[in-house]
Chain A
Amino acid sequence: KAGVTQTPRYLIKTRGQQVTLSCSPISGHRSVSWYQQTPGQGLQFLFEYFSETQRNKGNFPGRFSGRQFSNSRSEMNVSTLELGDSALYLCASSWAGTGQETQYFGPGTRLLVL
Chain B
Amino acid sequence: GQQVMQIPQYQHVQEGEDFTTYCNSSTTLSNIQWYKQRPGGHPVFLIQLVKSGEVKKQKRLTFQFGEAKKNSSLHITATQTTDVGTYFCAGNTGNQFYFGTGTSLTVIP
Residues of A within 8 A of B (CB): 33, 35, 41-45, 48, 55-56, 58-59, 90, 92, 97-100, 102-108
Contact = CB atoms under 8 A, between A and B. Distances in A.
Contacts of A97: 95
Nearest to B98: A45
Contacts of A59: 1
B31 A100 contact: yes
Contacts of B43: 43, 90, 92, 103, 105
A41 B101 CA distance: 7
Given A42-B101, A99-B93, 5 more contacts: A48-B96, A55-B95, A59-B1, A97-B95, A102-B33
Contacts of A105: 35, 42-44
Interface of B: 1, 30-31, 33, 35, 41-45, 48, 50, 88, 90, 92-102
Contact of A100 (B41, B50, B88): B50
Contacts of B93: 99
B100 A99 contact: no
6 contacts: A42-B100, A43-B90, A43-B102, A97-B95, A102-B33, A103-B97
Contact of A43 (B48, B50, B99): B99
B95 A48 contact: yes
Which among A35, A58, A59 has the greatest number of chain B C-beta atoms within 10 A?
A: A35
